[in-house]
């Protein structure tokens, strides 16, 4: 359950809200959905705060295999517009 | 003059003479004209004529010269050719050996762009019906771009500002020059094969038409079209439109704009969660409220509809009557012993309960339960309850007479 992705949890939560507002549910079913909704909102809030930014670069080896390496943003700051204008 | 003195040329000699004379006189020239009889030979060589109102010039553009051409020359097209004059001796044709060819009036690249756009449009590569919806909220973003360019920096800025809890995978490519188009196309295919992202952003910073050219190549357009993952194209500045933009599922005017499309603002997400919470609580309390109101009204109406009260009352009356009669019977028996049986029988017959057993019934009108004596107090559609010697039933009035 803890592995559910943020957008999955949020979508499920909003779906439950719609079902409850629709008003066709029996009381005990409604209570169940309500509890599930509360639980999902907590999961969403928790994931929002987990500031886990991950930036990686995909590297291709000669044998065709792939590898993910962390991308260092600072190391390439020297890029200048000269990449953009070529001499004619 | 006799035969020994005049120079007699062979055909070959003369033709060679003409060739050399032409090649020396006009070694490199620019010629303007309209293309006609254009043929692209299977050898890769191009043969065509340039004409104007007064004359026609045969031309040849060999494979090594025309290989790098971005546009396709067509009959009727006005062009500028650069090359040298020569003579194809075997046929005695003089011709222009073209080394360069350019369309007149519009740049070669612009023309190539128009031609490819039209071709792919006709094929349906830009059809809206083929496009995949881009996720509102992606947690894994793939970026096909230069790892050192401004585009990826802009995108990472947006990530930092808006919602850090996101995974960005960069597939590094050359974004211009030789081989760039193949790297870009491969990168898109690789993301599809690995399927490790929710959306692909194909992007590079601004530049001239030449600089952006890789993103106008057919192989890139096809890779985008074939992608099962949604592709956002953000190439160059706001005013630049490339073929990838048309093929992509979404175009963004800049790399930042592309990131903003798929990375939501944290506050917006917080609001969505809170909003849902409020609606959850409201709908549940609303539901409980409705149900308790329903229950209350049901309780009241049920009591009103209870005929049991009336019958219980009636039964009590009958019991009282029975008691009364019982006393009187005893009294009469004491008084007139010999008439006991007869009287008893008669009295017995008069017992209201016995009357019911003889087939008579009591009918009450519902709701209210008033005992009916007069049919005039009924109308069609009224509900009535009838008590028999054994049991009771309910009916709806059909006709009153």
Nearest CA-CA distance, residue A2 and chain B, Å: 15
B353 versus B136: the higher-pLDDT residue is: B136
Nearest to A58 among B146, B169, B207 (CB): B169
Q: Do A50 and B146 touch (CB under 8 A)?
A: no
Of A10, A30, A59, the CB nearest to B284: A30
Q: Tell whether A44 is covered by a domain.
A: yes
In the DSSP assignment, the letter for residue B198 is: S
Q: What is the pLDDT of residue A83?
A: 39
- Asked whether residue B38 carries a pLDDT value surpassing 50, the answer given is yes
Asked whether the beta carbons of residue A51 and residue B279 sit closer than 8 angstroms, the reply is no
Q: What is the Cα–Cα distance from B184 to B182, expressed in whole angstroms? A: 5
Tokens coding B316: 């009590």
Contacts of B166 in chain A (CB under 8 A): 53-54
Residues 6+ positions from A84 with CB-CB distance below 8 Å: B205, B206, B207, B208, B211
Q: Do B273 and A79 touch (CB under 8 A)?
A: no
The model's pLDDT over B233-244, given as tens digits with 9 standing for 90+, comes to 999 988 889 999
CA distance B383 to B272: 55
Identify all chain A residues contacting B279, using CB atoms and an 8 Å cutoff: 17, 20-21
Name the token pair of B319: 């019991």
The HSE-up count of residue B384 (CA atoms within 13 Å, CB side) is 24
Chain A positions touching B280 (Cβ under 8 A) are: 16-17, 20, 34, 37-38, 41
> Is residue B367 over pLDDT 80?
yes
Q: Do B280 and A76 touch (CB under 8 A)?
A: no
- The number of angstroms, rounded, from the C-alpha of B116 to the middle of its chain's C-alpha atoms is 27
Cβ pairs bridging A and B (under 8 Å): 127
CA nearest to A88, candidates B148, B209, B238: B209
Q: Are B215 and B244 in contact, with CB atoms under 8 Å apart?
A: yes
Domain membership of residue A44 as a residue range: 1-73
Domain residue spans of chain B: 11-105, 113-264, 268-300, 308-396
Is B270 in CB contact (< 8 Å) with chain A? yes
C-alpha B218/C-alpha B223 separation (Å) is: 9
- pLDDT at residue B332 in the model: 62
Contact assessment for residue B164 and residue A51, using Cβ atoms and an 8 Å cutoff? yes
Which residue from A minimizes the CA distance to B269?
A48
Interface confidence, given as ipTM, is 0.70
Q: How far is A28 from chain B (nearest CA, A)?
A: 11
pLDDT computed for residue B97 by the predictor: 96
pLDDT level of residue A79 (50, 70, 90 thresholds): very low
Tell me the shortest Cα–Cα distance from A85 to chain B, in angstroms: 6
Query: What single string gives the DSSP state of each residue in B153-169?
Result: HHHHHHHHHH--S-EEE
How many residues belong to chain B?
Answer: 401
Q: Side-chain half-sphere of A15: how many Cα atoms within 13 Å?
A: 8
Residue B336: its pLDDT value, please? 61
- Can you identify the CATH homologous superfamily of domain B113-264? Response regulator (3.40.50.2300)
**Is B223 exposed, middle or buried (CB count within 10 Å of its CB: 0-12, 13-18, 19+)?**
buried
Cβ–Cβ < 8 Å for B158, B264 = no
Q: What is the CATH number of domain B11-105?
A: 2.40.50.140
Q: Which of B153, B161, B197, B277 to mutate against chain A (most A CBs within 10 Å)?
A: B277
Out of A48, A83, A85, closest to residue B149 by CB: A83
Contact list in B for residue A47 (CB cut-off 8 A) is 165
CA dist B213 → B61, B181, B208, B236, B257 (Å): 24, 8, 8, 11, 21
- B209 to chain A, any CB pair closer than 8 A? The answer is no
Asked whether the beta carbons of residue A58 and residue B160 sit closer than 8 angstroms, the reply is no
A66 within a domain of the structure (yes/no): yes
Which range among A21-30, B222-231, B368-377 has the greatest average pLDDT? Answer: B222-231
Among the partner-chain residues A17, A31, A57, the one whose CB lies closest to the CB of B276 is A17
Average pLDDT across chain B, whole number: 87
Contact B198, B167 (CB under 8 A): no
Domain tally for chain A? Answer: 1
pTM for the structure as a whole: 0.63
Which residues of B fall within a CB distance of 8 Å from A59? Answer: 172
Is residue A85 assigned to a domain?
no
Q: What confidence tier does B95 reach under pLDDT thresholds 50, 70, 90?
A: very high
Lowest mean pLDDT among A54-58, B97-101, B311-315, B365-369: B311-315
Are the beta carbons of A79 and B169 separated by less than 8 Å? no
Question: Two tokens at B252?
Answer: 């963004």
Inspect the interface and report whether the beta carbons of A16 and B280 lie closer than 8 Å. Answer: yes
C-alpha to C-alpha distance for B118 and B389, rounded to whole angstroms: 96
Residue A81 lies in a domain: no
Q: For residue A82, tell me if it sits in a domain.
A: no
Mean pLDDT on B369-388: 87
SS3 B76: coil
Distance from CA of B84 to the nearest CA of A (A): 24
Of A32-36, A69-73, B226-230, B345-349, the range with the highest mean pLDDT is B226-230
Span B140-194, pLDDT tens digits? 899 999 999 999 999 999 988 887 778 899 999 999 998 999 999 999 999 999 9
Give the three-class secondary structure for B360.
coil
State whether B150 and A20 contact (CB < 8 Å).
Answer: no
Cis bond leading into B65, ω under 30°? no
In a domain, residue A45? The reply is yes
> Does A88 score more than 80 pLDDT?
no
Q: Which is nearest to B151 in space by CA: B230, B246, B219, B215?
A: B215
- From B246's Cα to the closest Cα of chain A, the distance in A is 22
Structure tokens at A3: 């592995």
Q: Rounded distance, CA A73 to CA A53, Å?
A: 13
By the CB < 8 Å criterion, does B102 face chain A? no
> Cβ separation of A52 and B165 shorter than 8 Å?
yes
| Partner-chain residue, chosen from A21, A52, A86, that has the shortest CB–CB distance to B210 | A86
Indicate if the pLDDT at residue A1 is higher than 60: no
């Amino acid at each position: 359950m803890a592995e559910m992705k943020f957008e999955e949890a949020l979508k499920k939560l909003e779906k439950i809200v719609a079902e409850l507002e629709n008003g066709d549910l029996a009381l005990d079913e409604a209570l169940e959905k309500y509890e599930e909704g509360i639980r999902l909102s907590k999961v969403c809030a928790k994931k929002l705060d987990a500031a886990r930014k991950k930036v990686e670069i995909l590297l291709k080896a000669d044998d065709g295999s792939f590898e993910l390496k962390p991308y260092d943003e600072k190391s390439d700051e020297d890029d200048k517009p000269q990449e953009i204008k070529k001499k004619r | 003059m006799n035969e020994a003195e005049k120079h007699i040329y062979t055909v070959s000699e003369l033709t060679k003479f003409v060739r050399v004379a032409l090649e020396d006189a006009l070694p490199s020239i620019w010629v303007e004209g309209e293309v006609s009889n254009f043929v692209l030979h299977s050898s890769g060589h191009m043969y065509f004529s340039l004409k104007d109102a007064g004359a026609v010039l045969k031309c040849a553009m060999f494979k090594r010269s025309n290989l790098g051409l971005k546009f396709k020359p067509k009959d009727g097209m006005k062009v500028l050719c650069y090359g040298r004059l020569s003579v194809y001796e075997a046929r005695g044709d003089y011709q222009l050996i073209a080394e360069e060819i350019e369309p007149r009036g519009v740049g070669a690249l612009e023309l190539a762009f128009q031609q490819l756009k039209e071709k792919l449009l006709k094929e349906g590569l830009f059809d809206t019906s083929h496009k995949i919806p881009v996720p509102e909220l992606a947690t894994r973003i793939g970026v096909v771009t230069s790892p050192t360019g401004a585009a990826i920096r802009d995108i990472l800025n947006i990530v930092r500002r808006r919602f850090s809890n996101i995974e960005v995978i960069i597939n590094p490519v050359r974004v211009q020059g030789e081989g760039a188009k193949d790297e870009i196309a491969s990168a898109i295919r690789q993301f599809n094969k690995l399927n490790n992202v929710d959306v692909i952003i194909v992007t590079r910073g601004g530049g001239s038409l030449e600089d952006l050219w890789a993103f106008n190549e057919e192989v890139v357009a096809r890779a985008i079209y074939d992608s099962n993952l949604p592709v956002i194209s953000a190439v160059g500045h706001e005013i630049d439109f490339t073929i990838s933009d048309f093929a992509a599922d979404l175009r963004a005017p800049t790399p930042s704009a592309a990131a903003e499309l798929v990375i939501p603002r944290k506050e917006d997400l917080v609001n969505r969660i809170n909003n849902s919470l409020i609606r959850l609580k409201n709908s549940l309390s609303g539901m409980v409220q409705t149900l308790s109101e329903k229950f209350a009204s049901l309780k009241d109406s049920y009591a009103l509809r209870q005929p049991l009260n009336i019958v219980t009352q009636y039964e009590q009356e009958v019991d009282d009557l029975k008691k009364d009669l019982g006393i009187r019977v005893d009294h009469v028996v004491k008084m007139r012993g010999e008439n006991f049986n007869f009287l008893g029988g008669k009295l017995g017959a008069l017992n209201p309960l016995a009357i019911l057993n003889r087939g008579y019934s009591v009918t009450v009108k519902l709701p209210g339960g008033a005992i009916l004596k007069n049919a005039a107090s009924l109308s069609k559609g009224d509900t009535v309850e009838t008590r028999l010697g054994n049991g009771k039933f309910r009916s709806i009035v059909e006709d009153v007479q």
